[in-house]
Structure 1
Amino acid sequence: EHINFHLFNKLGVPAPYSYYFHFRVVDGAEEAPDPWRGDFWGLGFAQESYDSDFLDVHDLERGNLYKLINSTTDAKAQQRYQAPHAVMDGSDHDNIQRNLTAYSTAQFIRDHVRLDKWYIYHALCQAIRHYDYWPTANKNAAWYFEPVYTPQNNFLGLMWTLPWDTDATWGPTWNDGYDVVYNSVFGAGAGRAELQTDYFNAVREIRDLLWQPDQIEPLIDEFAAPIAEFVEADRKRWLNAPSDAGNYNGLGGAGKNGIAALVRDMKNFAFTGGSWPGGSVGAGGRAAFLDSLADGAGGDSIPRTPTVTYVGEPGFPTNALRFQTSAFSDPQGAHTFAATKWRIAEVSPDTQRPAQPDSLTLVPDRASWRYLKGLAEPSATTGAWRQAGFDDSMWQTGPTPIGYGEAFIATNLGDMQGLYTTVYARKQFSVSDPAAFDNVLVDVQYDDGILVWINGRLAAHENVASAEPPHDVTAEGAIETSDFVSYTLADPTAYLVEGTNTIAVQLLNASLAGSSDCFFDLRLIGHLRSQEPSLDGGAVETGARKYEIETVWESAESTTFEPEVTIPAGAVRAGRTYRVRCRMKDNTGRWSHWSDPVQFEAGESLSVDSGTGLRVTELMYNPPVLASEPDIDNEEFEFIELKNTGDEVLDLSDVSFVEGIEFDFRDGDITMLPPGEFVLVVRNREAFVACYGPEMSALIAGQYEGKLANEGESIRLVDFWSGAIAEFAYDDTDGWPALADGAGHSLVPLSSAIPEQSVGANDYSSLLRDPANWRDSTYIGGSPGVDDPQ
């Protein structure tokens, strides 16, 4: 149950927080007269109750809350909290109990149930086999009614199902796991296919991101470790004790044999299979069951799982993280693309890397190319069109296959027959490390002749008379096949470069007017050198593990297919380990599986032009005591001042302090900063204005969370997309200005440490890290809102 509740909470389904505890009950003169009697009562388990405090702790708006009880269907008997603006007669509860049925319409279900939460809730129930309920049962759950009151739901709110009593899981079980919502979504009534599609999408997501050995098995170990020794003492107290001392001799199962046996049993349940009371689990464990559940319903129509590759700068710098996905592919055919979604999550550095692919698709087939009809030579200089620096911006764009005369062609050149015999095409692609490939395959589908160059070097040619054919030449003969043909490049470093590469194609027809078809498609596949698997980092403290289900950033659904994404630099930190994935949706609402992850350790950001001119110009971390306001703690007068040193208005909407203090300018009162102007973030607006005067209000963007440590700490100011603007740590020793530490002065950077806009963020941060580049403010109290006089 401890793990179950933890997982529900991580998935955004509020569940009771739970704890282990220990009582020593002094009920006799001797502490331990024998192994079974005495003060030691072993290990206990506690969990939250459903009540008003639960709503507060889980940041839920005040709505009616019911804890279901098997012995009654009476709403008032089950109610645990009455919300101030909710119905007072239990009619919200009774509406779900009586009117949510197997024949409810999809719209009725949407109007009364928070379905996105239920999908995730029940997907996890399927994984852990939390099944002990049925549609008419009032048990093992709570109902929370979110205060979204609309005419459509008769002002009753939206019901969330929350978990309770999940001990019959991870093996032993009873019943089938069909609650009142499941009964309505999958019941006998028609017209709910869209709801079922959304449900199976959630099951796929839980399987892909959470129910994996590299996520679940370390989680079980993490939760077992803190109590492992204590469990042995607990077993000695209760196992085989005399009946008058109390014992659990009647219990069975793996847990009776110790925590190590229970851990193994849970892992078997998840990924191996076995037999437990209430029903066995087949080979592959619940993982295999989730696979069959997620893909069994309409599985033949699910978009194919995309493949993601890294195409950014070497070393994974935080401000140059670019990834590319393979093309959208759907068993239902072409033109069904609906959306793409990306995500990045932090994982613990010792997370087992997923099995690495033995190849990477550098250029997929059915991709978008630039192309030019061969009515004339493509460039004034022979071969210039094949080089990386050639300007092809005036060429047309279209997906392959390109040509005419076949049903599978995506870009139709209907005017080619009788008018021109050649077509030129170019495409750029990225490679992070050419030496990582053992060889590269050029797979081409063509009719009738073809030449392929990579970065200006001829890589493949077939059925052509020379390596420099003019625009009006024909192929050596007709080719009548649509199969792909492979050419192996044994030395990839001779063709590929680090970064952006250019592949160029010249397609030749067999004759000007007598050929019935002509086309090409191409894919470029790099076979990776075999390497020993490695793990980053070492052991992680219990309770500190990072799991992939928790995202640090996810994109919006992009309804226009774009194969590349740039991860916002503000979402990641150098030295931490991340996973990036992508998934795609078709026009029936089905999401593919998430791609296999690309796992990496983020490197230091590239030193590039910060591009803003936003500078830290004053920091008051230990303010003076204000004589006129003796009852206000001096810490309430803290502030940080920023200045726009550039010559353009700055949009601060994506700027935030994320370390030391926390403040997001997007939520503040000032989001635009003109050239030469100042903006302040303060600990306490009211106290600050009392100290510095009401005229300062106009310069305050808002109050930050936290406080500036008097002993010094790290400060990090970031732009969400570009990364760090300033990263430094101030101190009250080691050469830092002394008057700023309790004598009432602020810290002010020297003018030489407030560089022009062109300096890189790394260089700017380096200046701020040096105490020699700071001074005390000229006057006590500093000079917020103006340049400090010297």
Structure 2
Amino acid sequence: NLNLSSYYSYRSIVEAIHHYDIDESAGKNYFYFHDPITSLWSVHPWDLDLTWADTMYGGGNEPFKSRVLTKTSFALEYRNRLREICDLLFNTNQAWLLIQEYASIIHDFSNNPCITGADRAMWDYNPIMISSYVNKTKAGQGLFYQKASTKDFPGMVEIMKAYVVSRSRWIHSNILNDLEIPAKPSISRVGSGAYYANKLIFQCSQYQGTHPFAALKWRIARVGPGSITNKFFYEIQTKWESSDITEFTNQIQIPIESVEVGATYRVRVKMKDSTGRWSHWSEPIEFSVAEPDTVLQLRQWLKITEIMYHPPQGDAFEFLEFYNSSSNIILDLSGVNISSGIQFTFPQNTIIPPESFLILCKDSPENGFASFKSVYQIPDGTTLVGPFVGKLANEGDTITIKSSPNGAILFNIVYNDTPPWPQLADGTGFSLVLDVKDFNHANHPFAWRPSSRIGGSPGSKDPDDKPAIVFNEIYFPATQNTDDSPWIEIMCLNSGPINTDNVFISDDPTNLAKLPLPDCKLDHGEFVVVTNIGVLIPALENNKNLYLSSKEGQDVFKIHDHIKCQPIPQGYSLARNPDGTGWYILSTPTMGSKNKGFSPPVFINEVNCELVNSNNEYSLQFIELKKSETISNLITLTNF
């Protein structure tokens, strides 16, 4: 019930800094801790002042030494760990840096005022030190740091650094003197030029040892300064480590998700023989990580083409659809990172073939994305990845796509749930679908439309079908009686005849088959009027959405049209004018016939706007006006 790996590390540091005042007979300077979760005991040091010199008290024989290290298998594992600590930490590179970092916490090596100077002034030069109260044969002023040749704090730091050298030599001569360990391997890089994050490939030398090969292991660790002043990363802190590779292979690719662009890392390898002996870690290759060499391709060809940000089934069924718009380039998404709202980093070897889709969802690959597939119809062969962390905000958000967790921004996608963004995608079961070819304009609300069907079309192109039928006129008198009852007029826009036996009106996107249309056949431009609309009265009264859909299969509906109801003056109707086009309020309802209302002489025909900030404010670029085709004379725009 002893945590052996923890004990091996503890015992290694005991030897490294000569923390020998821990003999069992003295029973001091260590604590035991029992982990209530693992039920394992561990040893922790205490009172470390008598260290960093060979002349301190004690023999270093704490209680577990004789009970653990006398066992052959345990002693071998301990030496493996001590060898590793010497390779990665207790050496003139890393230990010296660690000593310097901690010394810099209390001392300014530029000779500016600091705590070590204040401490020495307070105690080393205290007036009492030359008073009659002090035995001058044992104490006096200015006696701090006498061991150092420079008689100052930096000199004491150099003594500690020198001890790393002498103590390492002693450890290798007296403990790590096993001549049967495998030979220290060497490594080299595969490739040249910059160390691209997606192409960190290395190879090692062949195994050499007294006993047969058993395994090899690779590791990568960040080193050097971090973003905090005087804060360093140390090689002993592993960023990624392979499992024991029991089939010898001399190459490895470091997972892109284990590194950050711009940071400095060291890669090493070690080898184990059949007796359990590990070699020393190889000499490292140190490098700074560069942006993946796929950045330009990703910026040019990768697109988000569908967003399900507010599924009625709950957050667990959100998704993003990615599309490779290239006709001949395979996109490598390894390490591509998504942040803001949701967080996800694509694993190594994630690719999208040309003109293909990839779905990022919240479900787990461990169950084959079963929950996600139970709700959505996914085409065979579509790549699904996940799960992402967080959620797509229902009120809108910015999705940031980067080349790696700390890499360049590839693009941002903004979406929102307020007009003019499509309202049908906000909790009704429809998704947002990209509706422009130029992805540079993807942050405009008019660049998106609702999916043509509930559930969207994850993994396939969403059908951009023109509506076959539309709402054409709605009449809802404030005071209703048998002579003046509400009605809804439907118009056929289809080029050929359609049957209305599977067409419905509803105010509930989760129940689109609420009110069936009268069964009839409509040719292009013909109308059908629905008068028995009692189930829709609450929607008309409360200015809610109406949906016009057709049933295409079991629980599969296609939305042809939708409109948000609005107050209408008594005796007026809400109508498209001309028929099938934009909405107007008509003073004379035209039930079942062509709408006859005000025909404006000039129309706004095109508006081009550009998103200028994250608050959905727009800078108007131009407005195009068009003269009505029913007017032949010139129109003067004065006073328009």
Secondary structure of 1:218's aligned partner: helix
- Aligned partners of 2:150 and 2:419: how far apart in 1? 54
Cross-structure match for 1:295: 176
- Aligned partners of 1:119 and 1:201: how far apart in 2? 9
- Aligned partners of 1:290 and 1:617: how far apart in 2? 61
What does residue range 651-670 of structure 1 map to in structure 2 within 5 Å?
A: 660=340, 663=343
- Aligned partners of 2:63 and 2:450: how far apart in 1? 64
Secondary structure of 2:196's aligned partner: coil
Could you tell me how far 1:583 is from its partner in structure 2? 0.4
Could you tell me how far 1:182 is from its partner in structure 2? 1.2
Q: Please list every run of 5 or more consecutive structure 2 residues that lacks an aligned counterpart in the other structure.
A: 108-113, 326-331, 348-355, 364-373, 379-383, 465-640
Could you tell me how far 1:185 is from its partner in structure 2? 1.9
Aligned amino acid, residue 241 of structure 1? N
Cross-structure match for 1:166: 48
**C-alpha deviations, 1:234-258, integer Å up to 9, x for none?**
3223332244999996996639989
Contact preservation (8 Å) 2:31, 2:43 = yes
What does residue range 576-655 of structure 1 map to in structure 2 within 5 Å?
A: 576-607=263-294, 616-617=304-305, 641-643=319-321, 645=323
Rate the CA distance shift 1:615–1:587 in 2: closer, same or farther, 3 A.
farther
- Aligned partners of 2:451 and 2:51: how far apart in 1? 62
Q: 2:122 aligns with which of 218, 227, 237?
A: 237
Alignment partner of 1:124 is 2:13: yes
Alignment partner of 1:337 is 2:198: no
Root-mean-square deviation (Å): 5.4
Cross-structure match for 2:444: 775
Contact preservation (8 Å) 1:620, 1:638 = no
Aligned amino acid, residue 221 of structure 2? A
What does residue range 2-41 of structure 1 map to in structure 2 within 5 Å?
A: none
Contact preservation (8 Å) 2:84, 2:280 = yes
Contact preservation (8 Å) 2:320, 2:361 = yes
Alignment partner of 1:214 is 2:90: no
Rate the CA distance shift 1:314–1:657 in 2: closer, same or farther, 3 A.
closer
Alignment partner of 1:786 is 2:473: no
Could you tell me how far 1:173 is from its partner in structure 2? 3.2
Contact preservation (8 Å) 2:144, 2:151 = no
Rate the CA distance shift 1:775–1:300 in 2: closer, same or farther, 3 A.
same
Cross-structure match for 2:492: none
- Aligned partners of 2:66 and 2:159: how far apart in 1? 30
Could you tell me how far 1:213 is from its partner in structure 2? 1.9
Could you tell me how far 1:204 is from its partner in structure 2? 0.6
- Aligned partners of 1:325 and 1:700: how far apart in 2? 32
Contact preservation (8 Å) 1:748, 1:775 = no
Could you tell me how far 1:161 is from its partner in structure 2? 1.1
User: TM-score, normalized by length of structure 1?
Assistant: 0.43
Could you tell me how far 1:710 is from its partner in structure 2? 9.9
Alignment partner of 1:312 is 2:191: yes
Contact preservation (8 Å) 2:197, 2:259 = yes
Could you tell me how far 1:342 is from its partner in structure 2? 0.6
Larger Rg: 2
Could you tell me how far 1:776 is from its partner in structure 2? 3.2
- Aligned partners of 1:195 and 1:328: how far apart in 2? 24
- Aligned partners of 1:266 and 1:181: how far apart in 2? 32
**C-alpha deviations, 1:96-116, integer Å up to 9, x for none?**
xxxxxxxxxxxxxxxx21101
Alignment partner of 1:328 is 2:186: no
Rate the CA distance shift 1:740–1:313 in 2: closer, same or farther, 3 A.
farther
Q: Identity of paired residues, percent? A: 28
**C-alpha deviations, 1:302-351, integer Å up to 9, x for none?**
11100111123432212122111111111x25xx11110111111116xx
Could you tell me how far 1:262 is from its partner in structure 2? 3.8
Contact preservation (8 Å) 1:210, 1:548 = yes
Could you tell me how far 1:618 is from its partner in structure 2? 6.3
Could you tell me how far 1:231 is from its partner in structure 2? 2.3
Cross-structure match for 1:346: 222
**C-alpha deviations, 1:571-621, integer Å up to 9, x for none?**
2233221111110011111100000001112222222988xx996456799
Rate the CA distance shift 1:789–1:144 in 2: closer, same or farther, 3 A.
farther
- Aligned partners of 1:578 and 1:789: how far apart in 2? 48
- Aligned partners of 2:93 and 2:195: how far apart in 1? 23
Cross-structure match for 1:14: none
**C-alpha deviations, 1:50-98, integer Å up to 9, x for none?**
xxxxxxxxxxxxxxxxxxxxxxxxxxxxxxxxxxxxxxxxxxxxxxxxx
- Aligned partners of 1:243 and 1:195: how far apart in 2? 54
Q: Please list every run of 5 or more consecutive structure 1 residues that lacks an aligned counterpart in the other structure.
A: 1-111, 150-156, 274-280, 350-538, 624-635, 668-674, 683-693, 731-735, 755-766
- Aligned partners of 2:419 and 2:60: how far apart in 1? 63
Contact preservation (8 Å) 2:359, 2:385 = no
Secondary structure of 1:295's aligned partner: coil
What does residue range 182-201 of structure 1 map to in structure 2 within 5 Å?
A: 182-187=65-70, 192-201=71-80
Aligned amino acid, residue 288 of structure 1? R
Q: 1:146 aligns with which of 24, 35, 45?
A: 35
- Aligned partners of 2:200 and 2:146: how far apart in 1? 46
Rate the CA distance shift 1:138–1:752 in 2: closer, same or farther, 3 A.
farther
**C-alpha deviations, 1:670-694, integer Å up to 9, x for none?**
xxxxx86855459xxxxxxxxxxx9
Rate the CA distance shift 1:638–1:267 in 2: closer, same or farther, 3 A.
farther
Could you tell me how far 1:126 is from its partner in structure 2? 1.5
- Aligned partners of 1:785 and 1:751: how far apart in 2? 17
Contact preservation (8 Å) 2:433, 2:451 = no
Rate the CA distance shift 1:207–1:260 in 2: closer, same or farther, 3 A.
farther
- Aligned partners of 1:679 and 1:143: how far apart in 2? 47
- Aligned partners of 1:578 and 1:571: how far apart in 2? 10
Contact preservation (8 Å) 2:216, 2:271 = yes
